[in-house]
Structure 1
Amino acid sequence: MLFSHLCKIALLFCVTSSQLVISATLFPNESLLPKNTPWHGKSLQLIEKNPDKQTLTEKTDFTKTLSYKETVTYLKQLEKSYDWITLESLGQSPQGRTIWLAKIAHGAVSPEALQKKPTLLLQAGIHSGEIDGKDATLMFLRDLTKGKNTKLLHDVNLLFIPILNVDGHEWTSPYHRVNQRGPLNMGWRTTAQNLNLNRDYAKLAAPEMRALVKVFRQYHIDLYLDVHVTNGEHYQYDITMGFNQPFTAISPQSATWLKEKYVPHVSQDLEKWGHIPGPLVFGMNKKNFHEGIAGWTASPRYSNGYGDVRHVPTILVENHSLKPFKQRVLGTYVLLKSTLELLAAEQGQQLKSAIHHDKQRQPDKVILGWSYPEQPTEKVAFKGMAYQQQTDSITGKAQVRWTGKAQHYEQLPVYWQNQPKVIAQMPKAIWIPQEHQQVIEILKAHGVEVTHIKTAEEVNATQFEAKEFKYKPEPYESRSVVTAEFRQNQIVRKMPAGSYVIKMDQNLSELALALLYPEAPDSLLFWGYFNGIFQRTEYIEPYALIPLAQQMMQSEPSLKQAFEQKLKTDEAFAKDDKARMRWFYEKSKYFDQRYKQYPVLFEY
């Protein structure tokens, strides 16, 4: 029986002889892209030499990736043949495809059993054109069938999502992602609903993202690798790693472990195998790289920001799009193997300890938003690429042309996003009226503990009132997003039975605050879940308002004085009869008292 299963697995990876070699010239964008320095890394030795055991990717000389059906079939054959792999359905995509989780571990695979050892979650295909993580991990699993690396499974668990954006994965074309070198059958960046999943961690609008968050709720994840392919400036690094630094992290102990233990270890291994690892950074000026690079602090809409706020150490792996698919996949293989080896050693337990300390923290204040400094934070050595500026006939302006030659920067300025922008005091509790069921549902989906009160309670609370608000003119991630400035008012409010309260002495208190503090960059208010507070629904006609205004001025001389002063100092107001009437209406007892009042209350 085992032999027949192995034959099926081998047949799955077989392709016709005409498919074995596909020239790089078949990539339609090759002539458009800047050249790289030649690469002949030691990791080329990881390619399987036996044609019967090669993956489709290897057989096509790393020009193609497995389809969704081929990937699932292979994993199911492995599950039938080996007791160290178990598949679990996480749910369905909008087009009806199953999102699969592969659990690679010795022994029982229940959440309780897996918690005994360090657990790595590797996710591929959140942007399905960026699929390196899937092909690298399938090669790694194939090598497990040959007896390679199997001892790792005695000391560490691997959870593997081969394709998160399964619908986008199946919309393939050689004309997707023009700045990326392969594969030919690249998937699409967004889902069938045109949602970018790496902008959806906070709001959970996509079923794919709710499927992923289910893994965080059910399993104790010690390290999370979200594998992407980045684009942008050209540099020598083929694998870059991004995470919130210890000086900005909400989980500082975990961030320190990532910086001091993880990055040095895997970087050393990648270099041994012929790769060039580096930090995930972006150019401050796309036309002048000498001005420096930006170090990013991610908010919870992104995987690395979300992991930080829910105390799951997270690395946003960004392989560089201008490097060949072969180089990227092999580098990801080395990264995966090195990560498992690190967790299998004593560092796995040290990471668990760091996570525990982060969960036990009870900060008085939490910085939820950051900005860039005016002056560089530091200067670093950087492995860049040489470029020239040339004026072209299309734009009529100077544009960057990368030469394909390495250029080393000895002292390149770095601007870390480390200036506090949004600082929130940690409340004792957050109260939510029961009519906001959609918000409650999102919080529960994240795993935030929410209590439904059965009797009315009087609360001394802070309410946020919007002073100014502004909508983005175009939809962003299918939402009408809004930013606002608020003033804080102290009130006493009787919360009726049926209301909800979040007690903040819980592990996910920072996540709850990031979702509900109205000025936070990824608050549910920003994502449009409280748009009703910015809409006026009752008005007053001039025949009633004018005598009302006259009565108000007679009874309140100070109001009359303020009105007359505004007429003198505000010319536009003086000329606008509707603005005059609105001014009085807003100061009357008849005005909508809920207008611009954020209904979520904070108890300090």
Structure 2
Amino acid sequence: MFAFLVSALLLPAPSPAAPAPAPDWRTPFEKGNGNTTTTHAECISYYQQLDAAYPEIQLREAGTTDSGRPLHEVVVSLDGDFEPASVRAKGRRIVFIQNGIHPGEPEGIDASMMLARDYMQKKELRRQLADVVLVFIPIYNVDGALNRNATTRTNQNGPESYGFRGNARNLDLNRDYIKQDSRNARAFAQLFQRWQPDIYVDTHTSNGADYQYTMTLIATQKDKLHPALSQYLQQRLLPALYGGMDKQKWYLTPYVDFEGRTPDARGLVGFLETPRYSTGYTTLFNTIGFVTETHMLKAYTPRVKATYDFLDLLIKTVHQDAAAIAQARATAAEQTRTQQQFALGWRLDTTQAERFTFRGYEGKTKPSEVSGLPRMYYDRKAPYVKSVPYYNTFRPTVTVQRPQAYVIPQAWGEVVERLRLSGVQLRQLAADTTITGEVYYIQDYKTGPRPYEGHYLHSQVQVRPVRQARPFLRGDYVVSLNQPAARYLIETLEPQATDSFFAWGFFDSILQQKEYFSDYVFEDVAAELLRRKPELRAQLEAKKKADPTFAASAAAQLDWVYRQSDHYEASHLRYPVLRVL
């Protein structure tokens, strides 16, 4: 026994366990060669690791997409409060960042992964979240991200492979915010309404001209934004963003949209984002929106870095301006509740322009190797910095008086469903009843000759308002305008609006007549009607004198009499939504 104890004491002590290796928090982009982007699986896995490591981050499913895969949201909240109502009650500003609506434009996907990590690991960044909560959609177009390729972004300088613009139904999701054909858009609407963010960002890569900038920026069009928010945007937020990016040598320009041959020919034109676009939709709810557009021809790494720096600067500015943003949004919300006139259409005012110092390249021509004819190119050996006009003032072309409420027959369930998804409060009638109000008859409209995002869009809609008593059924919907979604309701339910539900074809069945007549039968009915109503005969004769083509057409005259008779269906061309005044 003693010998055993001595030998045991002489044995070498066991080595202490080697320390566990430090976690590798590099993103797939950072591990790559500077020209690669994460896959969907890698992206979600990375956020799962962040969720497991940091109680301030939560990854969760926020709905489904057309591919059947879940749409995810990532919430970054320093006190671990991930519930929207509670966060708003604490007076925190909410910044909502959406990535990958076009997965071939993935800079925001990679930048946001690094940003979420750095806001956990760097003390100076954590301080910026003291009164700010971040909400990320890691990849919005999950369907397109799964359809990975290396060829479809013909004009783009990297990354090596990427997702496809269309989703599983070949929809461009950045045209789907009002019509919501995709499950992606329906999930987004519910997520957006839960958070009701102060600032919204949609990250993109641009197409178009060549110029010196790595990033261009679309801000919510100032004339479409509520004046209180527009004033804050123009006087404080945009100067802070432009100045801050300039200091980091990421010179910014408004999105390079122009009508001339090159941007300097006639100047830049503001981008009018209607509600089909993400920032057009968010504006309807008094959220300031931005679309970042990095330049397609710059290398991928600086595009990611510029996006990262812009998002970081924006969050820092929101932190500094939290009180001012809260005040501007409160003013906008209160005044929208009592606003009486709303614009439904806009036109660029070409008499109003500000000056902007633009950094471009000269546009020149040379013979085409394809056709032998002159072709245009941008000469990067001929950069310039010059003052150009920037046209960004839009005037209303169509306005409407706010009704007290709308009444929507339950038959139009697709419309009702979309209203609910966007947070609209509806009340159903408890019994059959008759309600007197204003109805529209569609007088004229133009329809595009080819489908656009799955619809034949209507435009230039003209209506004739008529006061009528209309019967409604138990279960039909009364929608009061005394709610936060008032502007959204007006721009979707007034048929003259650019992106109304009528414009997108949700009410097309009212445009088709269901009953008609046989001419040889109605000839006798029409003759009897004209005998009984001499005033109608006088109107017919006057119309024949004024219109020789009409006078030469027996069918046109018979149709005219038919439309003045009780036999003509009252529902033809009658928009079914009643305006209660």
TM-score (norm 1): 0.87
Cα distance in structure 2, aligned partners of 1:599 and 1:485: 15
Tell me, what secondary structure is at the counterpart of 2:497?
Answer: coil
Tell me which residue corresponds to 1:543. 520
Amino acid paired to 1:595: H
Tell me which residue corresponds to 1:68. 40
Cα distance in structure 2, aligned partners of 1:145 and 1:505: 41
1:324 aligns with 2:263: no
Tell me which residue corresponds to 1:191. 167
- Counterpart among 524, 537, 559 of residue 560 in structure 1: 537
Tell me which residue corresponds to 1:79. 51
Q: Report Cα offsets for 1:120-156 as digits up to 9, x if no partner.
A: 1111001111111110111223334543523333332
- Counterpart among 343, 347, 350 of residue 371 in structure 1: 347
2:221 and 2:273 in contact (8 A); partners too: no
Cα distance in structure 2, aligned partners of 1:575 and 1:394: 55
Tell me which residue corresponds to 1:203. 179
Cα distance in structure 1, aligned partners of 2:359 and 2:417: 46
- Counterpart among 84, 108, 133 of residue 133 in structure 1: 108
Which residues in structure 2 correspond to 1:51-62 (within 5 Å)? 53-62=25-34
Amino acid paired to 2:330: H
Cα distance in structure 2, aligned partners of 1:378 and 1:272: 23
Distance 1:503 1:4, change over 3 A: farther
Q: Report Cα offsets for 1:90-133 as digits up to 9, x if no partner.
A: 12222221111011112221123322221211110011111111
2:353 and 2:393 in contact (8 A); partners too: no
Q: Report Cα offsets for 1:470-516 as digits up to 9, x if no partner.
A: 32221111123223211111223343332211111111101110110
Q: Report Cα offsets for 1:285-326 as digits up to 9, x if no partner.
A: 245741122112321111221121111111122222222211
Worse-matched range after superposition: 370-379 or 405-414: 405-414
Gaps of 5+ in 2: 1-18
Distance 1:286 1:210, change over 3 A: farther
Tell me which residue corresponds to 1:112. 85
Q: CA deviation at 1:398?
A: 4.9
1:467 aligns with 2:443: yes
Q: CA deviation at 1:269?
A: 2.4
1:228 aligns with 2:204: yes
Tell me which residue corresponds to 2:235. 260
Cα distance in structure 2, aligned partners of 1:307 and 1:535: 34
Amino acid paired to 2:345: G
Q: Report Cα offsets for 1:9-47 as digits up to 9, x if no partner.
A: x3xxxxxxxxxxxxxxxxxxxxxxxxxxxxxxxxxxxxx
Amino acid paired to 2:406: I
Tell me, what secondary structure is at the counterpart of 1:235?
Answer: coil
Tell me, what secondary structure is at the counterpart of 2:342?
Answer: strand
Which residues in structure 2 correspond to 1:319-398 (within 5 Å)? 319-345=294-320, 347-361=321-335, 362-390=338-366, 392=368, 398=374
Q: CA deviation at 1:390?
A: 4.1
Tell me, what secondary structure is at the counterpart of 2:246?
Answer: helix
Tell me which residue corresponds to 2:9. none
Q: CA deviation at 1:393?
A: 6.9
1:250 and 1:366 in contact (8 A); partners too: no
- Counterpart among 94, 98, 117 of residue 123 in structure 1: 98
Tell me, what secondary structure is at the counterpart of 1:130?
Answer: coil
Tell me which residue corresponds to 2:388. 412
Cα distance in structure 2, aligned partners of 1:383 and 1:603: 53
Tell me which residue corresponds to 1:92. 64
1:526 aligns with 2:513: no
Cα distance in structure 2, aligned partners of 1:509 and 1:587: 37
- Counterpart among 480, 483, 498 of residue 456 in structure 2: 480
Cα distance in structure 2, aligned partners of 1:391 and 1:555: 76
Worse-matched range after superposition: 285-294 or 232-241: 285-294
Tell me which residue corresponds to 1:507. 484
Q: CA deviation at 1:426?
A: 1.1
- Counterpart among 239, 242, 249 of residue 224 in structure 2: 249
Q: CA deviation at 1:272?
A: 2.3
- Counterpart among 246, 263, 272 of residue 271 in structure 1: 246
1:5 and 1:81 in contact (8 A); partners too: no
Cα distance in structure 1, aligned partners of 2:27 and 2:355: 43
Cα distance in structure 2, aligned partners of 1:5 and 1:166: 33
Worse-matched range after superposition: 435-444 or 581-590: 581-590
Tell me, what secondary structure is at the counterpart of 2:359?
Answer: strand
Amino acid paired to 2:111: A
Distance 1:493 1:193, change over 3 A: same
Tell me which residue corresponds to 1:21. none
Cα distance in structure 2, aligned partners of 1:545 and 1:516: 37
- Counterpart among 554, 577, 590 of residue 567 in structure 2: 590
Distance 1:389 1:422, change over 3 A: farther
Distance 1:591 1:394, change over 3 A: farther
Amino acid paired to 2:314: T
Q: Report Cα offsets for 1:520-549 as digits up to 9, x if no partner.
A: 001000011100110111111112211112
1:245 and 1:256 in contact (8 A); partners too: no
Tell me which residue corresponds to 2:14. none
1:313 aligns with 2:326: no
Identity of aligned residues (%): 29
Amino acid paired to 1:98: P
Worse-matched range after superposition: 518-527 or 470-479: 470-479
Q: CA deviation at 1:455?
A: 3.1
Structure of higher CA gyration radius:
2
Distance 1:474 1:106, change over 3 A: same
Count of residues in Structure 1 that have an aligned counterpart in Structure 2: 556
Worse-matched range after superposition: 554-563 or 348-357: 554-563
Let me know the Cα RMSD of the aligned residues: 2.2
1:482 and 1:526 in contact (8 A); partners too: yes
Cα distance in structure 2, aligned partners of 1:380 and 1:81: 46
Q: CA deviation at 1:565?
A: 4.2
Tell me which residue corresponds to 2:473. 496
Gaps of 5+ in 1: 11-52
Q: CA deviation at 1:397?
A: 6.3
Tell me, what secondary structure is at the counterpart of 2:555?
Answer: helix
Tell me, what secondary structure is at the counterpart of 2:185?
Answer: helix
Q: CA deviation at 1:354?
A: 0.9
1:452 aligns with 2:425: no
Cα distance in structure 1, aligned partners of 2:390 and 2:65: 40
- Counterpart among 140, 144, 149 of residue 173 in structure 1: 149
1:442 aligns with 2:415: no
Tell me, what secondary structure is at the counterpart of 1:71?
Answer: helix
1:602 aligns with 2:575: no
Q: Report Cα offsets for 1:50-102 as digits up to 9, x if no partner.
A: xxx43222233321111011111111111111111101101222222111101
Distance 1:504 1:373, change over 3 A: same
1:243 and 1:297 in contact (8 A); partners too: no
1:299 and 1:369 in contact (8 A); partners too: no
Tell me which residue corresponds to 2:12. none
Cα distance in structure 2, aligned partners of 1:133 and 1:6: 27
Cα distance in structure 2, aligned partners of 1:316 and 1:252: 20
Tell me, what secondary structure is at the counterpart of 1:140?
Answer: helix
TM-score (norm 2): 0.90
Distance 1:305 1:208, change over 3 A: same
2:205 and 2:293 in contact (8 A); partners too: yes
Q: Report Cα offsets for 1:167-223 as digits up to 9, x if no partner.
A: 101212221221222112121112111111111111222111111112222124121
Tell me which residue corresponds to 2:191. 215
Cα distance in structure 2, aligned partners of 1:4 and 1:428: 66
Cα distance in structure 2, aligned partners of 1:462 and 1:141: 51
Q: CA deviation at 1:389?
A: 3.3
Tell me which residue corresponds to 1:42. none
